[in-house]
């Protein structure tokens, strides 16, 4: 992380949250025929994004949640506020800590008549090192599992686009914190990046959440490029930044007095932040492979776009594919 990147990241949050009002999502007549999936849909940004989609009149909204009872309660609250029919929302179980759960979910989703958008919202923020499926938990949930779901759904998303003429969008929330991600763990000339991140003796957990968002940008950019080169059909993948919002994501920080003051003065409401995510779901081809801030495509940090960043991007993505191949043999052929 350079000083310049840190300053840019901090200033972008302040300017965005204090001086930019995100546009309220506007629907269109085609949405009534379309199907969307939102993971982590029962709370926070996922819940508010789901409420927007329901308000906009999507034909089928699938709220993917870890705890079905909480999903059912969230569904009821959304329907009460939007007056949509009960059949317009379904609650499906998914646990982003479990590869088997993700595989089961993707297999079920692949049987849908069509799939027009996926908001892969489920994520975690923690400074405590712990393992999930033999990987550090933040890395696993925010990155590995998120792209496992993407590649498992990619054939269906392409098929749907070819049949309906509507290109499916796969959206992963991001953060201006990627400007401030610690870079020492990403040296492309040393050992495996993923092995280094999984080492409890070396892991920089204070910076793990920002780093996970940086890794998401690398993977999104690489997937967009490789998918274009494959010539197998389009699927838009982008990574919008809802900016600093009031939510349960940073629950470990809630006891910090300084954080509570900053949240009160600076944070967007969860509803406003969710507008950025819905924008990503409705964005056009220009958003493919892009980092989006304030509902506009934005150039990410220099440690993404520069020569060093390109080396890290290639190395990390190749390691990610190797990891995903072990989880689901043959999955890389979906690209």
Q: Are 94 and 105 in contact (CB under 8 A)?
A: yes
What is the C-alpha to C-alpha distance for residues 218 and 33, in angstroms, rounded to an integer? 33
Q: What is the pLDDT of residue 258?
A: 61
Residues 6 or more apart in contact with residue 151 via CB below 8 angstroms: 324, 328, 331, 332, 334, 335
Q: Is 150 considered catalytic here? A: no
Residue 191 lies in a domain: yes
- Residues of the domain holding 91: 3-328
How many CA within 13 A on the CB side of residue 143? 28
Quote the DSSP letter at residue 7. Answer: H
What is the C-alpha to C-alpha distance for residues 52 and 270, in angstroms, rounded to an integer? 12
Q: What is the pLDDT of residue 220?
A: 98
Residue 170 lies in a domain: yes
In terms of C-beta density within 10 A (0-12 exposed, 13-18 middle, 19 or more buried), how is residue 264 classed? exposed
What is the C-alpha to C-alpha distance for residues 325 and 199, in angstroms, rounded to an integer? 21
Q: Provide the domain count of the chain.
A: 1
Q: What is the pLDDT of residue 245?
A: 82
Residue 294 lies in a domain: yes
What is the C-alpha to C-alpha distance for residues 182 and 193, in angstroms, rounded to an integer? 13
Active-site annotation holder among 170, 179, 209, 218: 209
The values of phi and psi at residue 214, to 5°, are: -65, -45
The pLDDT averaged over each successive group of 10 residues in the chain (335 residues) is 64 73 92 98 97 98 98 98 97 98 98 98 95 97 98 97 96 96 90 95 96 98 89 88 78 58 74 97 97 96 96 97 98 95
Residue 335 lies in a domain: no
Residue 187 belongs to domain with CATH number: 3.40.50.720
Q: What is the pLDDT of residue 122?
A: 94
Question: Could you tell me the sign of the dihedral formed by the alpha carbons of 101, 35, 71, 136, in that order?
Answer: positive
Residue 333 lies in a domain: no
Active-site annotation holder among 75, 137, 213, 323: 213
Strand partners, 239: 291
Residue 334 lies in a domain: no
Residue 169 DSSP SS3: strand
Residue 254 lies in a domain: yes
Residue 82 lies in a domain: yes
Quote the DSSP letter at residue 22. Answer: P
Q: What is the pLDDT of residue 92?
A: 98
Residues 6 or more apart in contact with residue 261 via CB below 8 angstroms: none
Question: Cα dist. 24→181, 247, 271, 279 in Å?
Answer: 30, 19, 10, 9
Q: Is 209 considered catalytic here? A: yes
């Amino acid at each position: 992380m350079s000083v310049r990147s840190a300053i840019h990241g901090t200033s972008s949050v302040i300017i965005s949250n204090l001086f930019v009002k995100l546009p309220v999502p506007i629907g269109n007549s085609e949405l009534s025929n379309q199907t969307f999936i939102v993971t982590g849909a029962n709370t926070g940004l996922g819940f508010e994004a789901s409420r927007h989609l329901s308000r906009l009149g999507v034909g089928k909204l699938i709220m993917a949640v870890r705890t079905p009872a909480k999903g059912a309660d969230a569904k009821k609250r959304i329907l009460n506020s939007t007056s949509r029919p009960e059949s317009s929302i379904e609650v499906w179980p998914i646990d982003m800590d479990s590869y088997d759960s993700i595989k089961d979910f993707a297999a079920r989703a692949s049987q849908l008549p069509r799939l027009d958008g996926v908001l892969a919202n489920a994520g975690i923020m923690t400074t405590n090192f712990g393992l999930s499926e033999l990987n550090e938990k933040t890395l696993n949930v925010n990155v590995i599992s998120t792209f496992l779901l993407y590649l498992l759904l990619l054939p269906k998303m392409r098929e749907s686009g070819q049949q309906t003429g509507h290109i499916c969008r796969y959206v992963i929330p991001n953060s201006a914190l990627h400007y401030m991600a610690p870079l020492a763990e990403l040296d492309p000339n040393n050992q495996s990046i993923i092995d280094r991140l999984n080492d409890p003796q070396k892991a920089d957990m204070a910076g793990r959440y920002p780093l996970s968002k940086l890794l998401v940008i690398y993977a999104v950019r690489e997937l967009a490029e490789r998918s274009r080169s494959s010539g197998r059909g389009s699927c838009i993948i982008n990574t919008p930044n809802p900016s600093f919002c009031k939510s349960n994501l940073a629950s470990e920080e809630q006891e910090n007095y300084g954080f509570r003051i900053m949240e009160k003065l600076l944070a967007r409401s969860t509803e406003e932040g969710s507008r950025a995510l819905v924008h990503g779901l409705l964005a056009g081809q220009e958003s493919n492979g892009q980092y989006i801030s304030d509902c506009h495509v934005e150039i990410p940090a220099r440690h993404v776009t520069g020569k060093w960043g390109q080396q890290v991007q290639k190395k990390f993505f190749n390691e990610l594919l190797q990891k995903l191949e072990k989880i689901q043999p043959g999955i890389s052929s979906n690209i």
